[in-house]
Amino acid sequence: MMKENFRISHSLAQTIVDAAKEVVGKDINFIQLDGKIIASTDPSRIGSFHEAAFQVKEKRTVVEVSENNTFKGTKKGINYPVMIDQQMLGIIGISGDPEECKSLGFLLTKITEVLIKEQTMADKVYSLDELRSSIVRMLIFEDEKNNASMRDYLQQLQYELEEVAFVSVIHIHGLNNPSSLPVNMHDILLKQGIKLFTYLFPNQYAIIVNESQYETTVQILKTYFDSMQISCSIGIGSISALEELATSYKHAKFALKYALAKQVRVCEYTKLDLEMIMENIDPHIRNDYALKLVGKLSEAERTLLHTYYKYNLSLKETAAELFIHKNTLQYRLDKIAEKTKVNPREYHDSVKLYIALLLQTL
């Protein structure tokens, strides 16, 4: 039975919308009963007011929005009441054409229900796996702290957690549902000495590792999954005090986002410099700049540029990586210069294009 005073924390709401977008492929918003959007896959909407949420709250039913701005602060889509044990906890919505979104509604509400119920089971721990999962969730999700329970769980797990640790998020590629996850991920993590981890719907694992094991763990994450033929990307968060591991988790997700965009196995937050500065630029300004510079380029042209920068503007190495002749590469770079009015073969222009591509990954 859901506690009467249970509420959805900002971190849990963001986890829900991120997981839902992974499955349904559309922007998702989570709205409080007062109409404030507290989590969204579109960062620019967080904190804004959503008038259609009041309609959902009053009618306790689904509300469709057929045109943008039909209600204050709304876009086209469908909004659903989040109900657990007949208690409304908020509103969740899919952005897009209502007719197209209808078929995704049941899946969206079920994902939300599963993730909320997972969080409410923190006090009902029976197995070692549930113990380790509860510890991780208490540490990485804000508003979920219960230090007394955590110490008790660590004692039962017989694991010594240092005062300083870090979070890493492992994203398994090519999975559309939990049943597709490698059945041996649990054993793989334990075999590598990783004792604190939890599954995050639909295809991720969050792990917590002591600071003293940082270098060893990074090396394991870089090499071991290849040997097991598991396709994944991994973000490694900052080293933090235990009470600040929610921040390390956010940093791990940011590093993962970069790893996915760059198609690399592992990205460490502590080794990101320019990317961290850019993350703090207003999203609208980032988008406008990127669109102005590389908005007209095709996916193949953007891939070519990413490869070009990967090899430090080396024509020879870029051509070899792309399996094309050096003259063909020069021709395509010239075509990019024509489209963008910025020449990737000139240093200052190349920096502009590099920044624009980087902004698209944030």
Dist. CA 62–CA 81, nearest whole Å: 7
* Structure tokens, 239: 């080293």
The rounded distance, in Å, linking the Cα atoms of 187 and 345 is 49
Contacts of 63 (CB under 8 A, 6+ apart): 52, 55, 56, 78, 79
Report the chain's mean pLDDT, rounded to a whole number.
Answer: 87
Q: Are 326 and 319 in contact (CB under 8 A)?
A: yes
Q: Which two tokens stand for residue 358?
A: 């980087």
Q: 4 in helix, strand or coil?
A: coil
How many other CB atoms sit within 10 Å of the CB of residue 42? 16
Structure tokens belonging to residue 321: 């990586």
Low-confidence ranges of the chain (pLDDT < 70): 1-6, 120-126, 142-146, 175-183, 362
Query: Which is the CATH superfamily of the domain at 279-360?
Result: PucR C-terminal helix-turn-helix domain (1.10.10.2840)
Q: How far apart are CA 291 and CA 287, in angstroms?
A: 6
Alpha carbons within 13 A on the beta-carbon side of 337? 14
Please give the helix or strand (H or E) that residue 349 lies within, else none.
Answer: helix 347-360
For residue 237, give the 3-state DSSP assignment. strand
Q: Which class does domain 128-272 fall in?
A: alpha beta
User: Facing residues of 199 across strands?
Assistant: 205
Is the overall model pTM greater than 0.75, yes or no?
no
- The angle at the Cα of 69, spanning 63 to 75, to the nearest 5 degrees, equals 60
Which amino acid is located at 140 in the chain?
A: I
**Interatomic CA distance for residues 127 and 262, integer angstroms:** 38
Domain ranges in the chain? 10-120, 128-272, 279-360
CATH, domain 10-120, list 3.40.50.2300, 1.20.58.110, 3.90.1580.10, 3.30.450.40? 3.30.450.40
Q: Are 186 and 129 in contact (CB under 8 A)?
A: yes
Q: What is the pLDDT of residue 144?
A: 58
pLDDT, residue 180, reads 46
pLDDT tens track for 5-25: 567 888 889 989 998 998 888
